[in-house]
């Protein structure tokens, strides 16, 4: 039998090991839950049980709590103390603000990239677009959206603005859910691919005004169809 000192040391080591696993798991749990919300795998109104999520992810309650706190900060979950935690409805006002932010930032990014006239950037973008085309043909909306985000992340990375992309992404949960609701509409995925091709072509050709024009059209597509999206999914949206 272990002495009390040895037993205490082993208990402490197990606790430290668990804490270390929790720290490593927390970002992964957050990204997975966020992805489930954005993809509508967890639609607005879905209840989120900490115990059930801990069991699902095979972690303690700590990384679940931390993930839910971060999701609340992004406005993607509503926490009612001592009652329930649920996936929030899509806040149209926050979606409009995120659109304003993304457009303001990305118009400057594509202009700068077009002025730089870097063919390698355009080539990288076109490789991502080719993947998007494959996913669109397969009807795989989740992979299509991942490639869509990768296209925009590449724009930020090409001008060394990755930290701004992280900020923009953290503010884009509501507009991204609106886009996911809009994506199954006939021709929507094809429109996105077409816009991306035009943006990449303008960057490769050194045409900043054209790059900005196509980007503005691209980013405004979903909000221009807001009335139709609301009519199809009134239970998912709030003003």
Supply the DSSP string of 162-203, one letter for each residue.
Answer: HHHHHHHHHT-HHHHHHHHHHTTSTTHHHHHHHHHHHHHHHH
Residues 6+ apart with CB under 8 A from 236: 43, 44, 45, 89, 90, 177, 181
Tens digit of pLDDT for each residue in 70-86? 999 999 999 988 788 99
Task: Give 7 or 233, the one with higher predicted confidence.
Answer: 233
Contact 91/74 with Cβ under 8 angstroms?
Answer: no
Tens digit of pLDDT for each residue in 33-47? 999 999 999 999 999
Identify the H or E element spanning 123. Answer: helix 119-138
Crossing angle of the two packed helices 141-158 and 162-170, in degrees rounded to 10: 140
In the three-class reduction of DSSP (H, G, I as helix; E, B as strand; rest coil), residue 117 is classed as: coil
Mean pLDDT of 134-154: 95
Contact 190/136 with Cβ under 8 angstroms?
Answer: yes
To the nearest whole percent, how much of the chain has pLDDT over 90?
A: 81
Residues in a beta bridge with 80: 84
Tens digit of pLDDT for each residue in 150-186? 999 999 999 999 999 999 999 999 999 999 999 999 9
Tens digit of pLDDT for each residue in 185-209? 999 999 999 999 999 999 999 999 9
Residues 6+ apart with CB under 8 A from 167: none
Contact 109/153 with Cβ under 8 angstroms?
Answer: no
- Give this prediction's pTM: 0.86
């Amino acid at each position: 039998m272990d002495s009390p000192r040895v037993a205490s040391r082993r208990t402490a080591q197990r606790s430290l090991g668990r804490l270390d696993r929790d720290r490593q798991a927390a970002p992964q749990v957050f990204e997975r839950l966020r992805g489930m919300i954005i993809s509508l795998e967890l639609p607005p109104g879905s209840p989120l049980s900490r115990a059930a999520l801990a069991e699902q992810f095979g972690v303690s309650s700590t990384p679940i709590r931390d993930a839910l706190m971060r999701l609340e900060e992004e406005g993607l979950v509503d926490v009612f103390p001592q009652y329930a935690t649920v996936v929030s409805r899509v806040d149209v006002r926050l979606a409009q603000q995120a659109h304003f932010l993304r457009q303001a930032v990305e118009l400057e990014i594509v202009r700068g990239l077009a002025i730089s006239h870097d063919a390698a950037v355009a080539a990288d973008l076109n490789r991502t677009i080719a993947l998007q085309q494959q996913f669109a043909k397969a009807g795989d909306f989740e992979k299509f959206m991942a490639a869509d985000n990768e296209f925009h992340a590449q724009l930020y990375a090409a001008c060394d603005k990755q930290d701004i992309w992280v900020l923009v992404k953290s503010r884009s949960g509501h507009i991204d859910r609106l886009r996911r609701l809009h994506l199954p509409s006939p021709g929507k995925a094809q429109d996105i691919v077409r816009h991306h091709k035009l943006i990449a072509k303008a960057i490769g050709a050194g045409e900043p005004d054209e790059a900005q024009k196509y980007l503005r059209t691209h980013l405004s597509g979903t909000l221009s169809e807001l009335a139709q999206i609301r009519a199809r999914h009134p239970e998912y949206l709030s003003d």
